[in-house]
Amino acid sequence: MTNTVPASVAMLKVLEAWGVKNIYGYPGGSFNSTMSALEQEKANIHYIQVRHEQVGALAASSAAKLTGRIGVTFGSAGPGATNLLTGLYDAREDHAPVLALVGQVPHYNMNYNFFQEFDEGPMFADVAVYCRTVMTPESLPYVVDKAVREAYKQKGVAVVIIPNDFGYAAIPDVPYKSTSPSDRKPTPQPAATDEEVDQALALVKAAKRPVFHVGRGIRQGGDKLIALSQKLQIPIIMTGLSKGLVSEDYEGNIGFVNRVGSKSANEIFDIADLVIAIGADFPFANNVYTRHPFKFIQVDNDEAEFGRHHYIDLGIWSDGTQFIEKMLDRSTAVAPSAFFKAAVRDHQNWQAYLQKLYNRDTDPLEFEPVYKELNRIANDKTVISLDVGDNTINLLRYLKIAPTNKWTVSALFASMGAGIPGAIAGALEFPDRQVVSISGDGAFSMVMQDLITEKKYHLPILNIVTSNTTLGFIRDEQADIPGMNDYSGIDLEDQDFVKIAEGMGIEGATVTKSSELPAAFDQAVAALQAGRPFVLNAKITLKRGFPVEALKVKVVAGKVEETVAPEFNANKVEPTITTLEELFAHYDGEELKPLQYFLDEAGVTL
């Protein structure tokens, strides 16, 4: 006689076979059969009770992005299901493998307009690479196994909708998993051919001002890219998600392009005549790639990406690092390049400006010293969960991140409120590492109820809140909208985040000037070392970071004509600024030089 097991338990055993350790969610009546199974399997799989399903989905997405392994979340029928969508779209956009288990009313109540019953499949059809409603108890573990496999294969979200009564039903207790040692093999990667690389090298040879635009597709190839950059004298410009993959101490790494980036990267990109994009999914291409014409080489391991952001002169279907290695093998070192030298000097000038701001004391507090103190207490294994907003700009400019660090952000979906969920996932997945979340007050207040989740599970997380009672990133956008004439909807009521945290039994400190930061960070480190979460409320000014998006660069008669974009400060909230000198001075950057200065210094002719 075959032994039996509740179908929901059989389903969890499938997840355990796939190596799932944590599952994030919030109970509901239509999910009780799975909740019962989680109680029975609590020694093998950990249920993490979040206080909002969106937090659970964002945590599962972050876990997948930090580890590469499947993240699992759940919600009950009705509002529990709809609350999952933001986190699931975050996973979809960042190509993270996530499984969402969704409750449904018992099958005998379906299609009767029963309480909280609705047709959930169409809602998840767009976000999911695989979406199925379980039709029999016996198929429940099979469908979940298939869902995990599809999420891995397609690097996306799989959704399984479970009528509640099916989970209680007894089914044969047999192995339903399909896992095997082959699942641990690295995914085979396409490789560039000799002919393709030679075509790329020919385009490089013909170019006068080539640049690399590099995404996370280079994986662990950062040092090899540096060697290629030196050999061919090509500056490196990064996308945000690749921060930490190429050493920022390398002089040829000139930073990030677009609003979050460096003055130097934006200026140099705007005079480049060849862009070599390697493993870069750049969602702001229409802001940057359209500013001037250039030849374009795109290297990607997903040929569906070709032409997604720019027409291509040469597309190479290849793993990024393999392409770099073959370029190194088949290329000849070039003489020192005046263009490369100008790019380096331009970036050194920008870095000196950032260091001046980074090292000065401020009262009232500005944002740069916060990052200085974070760099002091962090290490090369720290896990960072970044929320969206001005902190995106500031992290990319000021935080030191090494290849050994882990960091996550809602990169392409850009969902506010991802900071705390990502930190919860980071602390659970990497219990031996220091974990930090960084959020503005707008984003933090969306999910701060889940500080209690950190407390409940004894997660030593440093929660940094940069609060200035404003949606700063949107404020600065509105400042540059012609005809808007005023700010709208961006003012936030002030809150005492430390008192809120203390009400949950969590320690905290509020700082209002830079001299208070060292003691507050030391207090935070002590709490983390004792296994407790901590909230650090850094009350910063409304200061706008240097607006690289205000720089307008074009080549006229062989010289760079660099001006202040007419849309900058269109709202007239800043003093009237019409020249580069006025722009630099307004942002305390009197030492900053225009691009033409460095081209002249290096002897570059256009």
Each residue's pLDDT tens digit, 217-263: 998 999 999 999 999 999 999 999 999 999 999 999 999 999 999 99
Angle between helices 222-232 and 320-330 (to 10 degrees): 30
Using only C-alpha atoms, the chain has a radius of gyration, in whole angstroms, of: 26
pTM for this model (two decimals):
0.97
Q: Which string of DSSP letters, residue by residue, matches 110-179? A: TTTT-TT----HHHHHTTEEEEEE--SGGGHHHHHHHHHHHHHHHTSEEEEEEEHHHHHSEEE-------
Round to whole Å and give the CA distance between 584 and 37: 62
Task: Name the catalytic one among 98, 161, 218, 388.
Answer: 388
Average model confidence (pLDDT) for the chain?
96
pLDDT tens column, 423-466: 999 999 999 999 999 999 999 999 999 999 999 999 999 999 99
Task: Tell me, rounded to whole angstroms, the distance of Cα 552 from its chain centroid.
Answer: 27
Q: What's the pLDDT score for residue 234?
A: 98
* Catalytic residue (choose from 5, 14, 31, 53): 53
Query: Is 115 among the residues known to form the active site?
Result: yes
pLDDT of res. 184: 84
Is 473 tagged catalytic? yes
Instruction: Write b or e for each residue in 13-46: b if 16 or more Cβ atoms lie within 10 A of its Cβ, otherwise e.
Output: bbbebbebebbbbbbbebbbbbbebbeebeeebe
Count of residues making up the chain: 606
What does the pLDDT average to over 211-215? 97
Considering 340, 473, 568, 598, which one is annotated as catalytic? 473
**pLDDT 10s digits, 323-354:** 999 999 999 999 999 999 999 999 999 999 99
Active site residue 53: yes
Query: Do 393 and 419 touch, CB atoms closer than 8 A?
Result: no
| 85: nearest Cα among 12, 159, 144 | 159
224 near 382, Cβ under 8 Å? no
The amino acid occupying position 291 is R
Q: Tell me, yes or no, if 477 is annotated catalytic.
A: yes
- How buried is residue 556: exposed, middle or buried, by Cβ count under 10 Å (0-12/13-18/19+)? exposed
User: Residue 493, exposed/middle/buried by CB under 10 A (0-12, 13-18, 19+)?
Assistant: exposed
pLDDT over 90, % of the chain:
91
Q: Which of 45, 334, 474, 490 is catalytic?
A: 474
Structure token pair of residue 400: 């030191």
Partners of 511 in beta bridges: 538
pLDDT at residue 573, rounded to an integer: 82
Say whether 474 is catalytic.
yes
- Is residue 8's pLDDT more than 70? yes
**How confident is residue 110, by pLDDT bands cut at 50, 70 and 90?**
confident
Instruction: Quickly count: other Cβ atoms within 10 Å of residue 473's Cβ.
Output: 23
Could you say which of 477, 507, 567, 601 is catalytic?
477
485 conformational bin, left if phi > 0, alpha if psi -120 to 50, beta if neither: left
For residue 116, indicate whether it is catalytic: yes
Q: Active-site residue 540, yes or no?
A: no
Residue ranges in 413-510 assigned as alpha helix (H): 419-429, 441-447, 451-456, 472-479, 497-503
**What amino acid is encoded at 530 in this protein?**
A
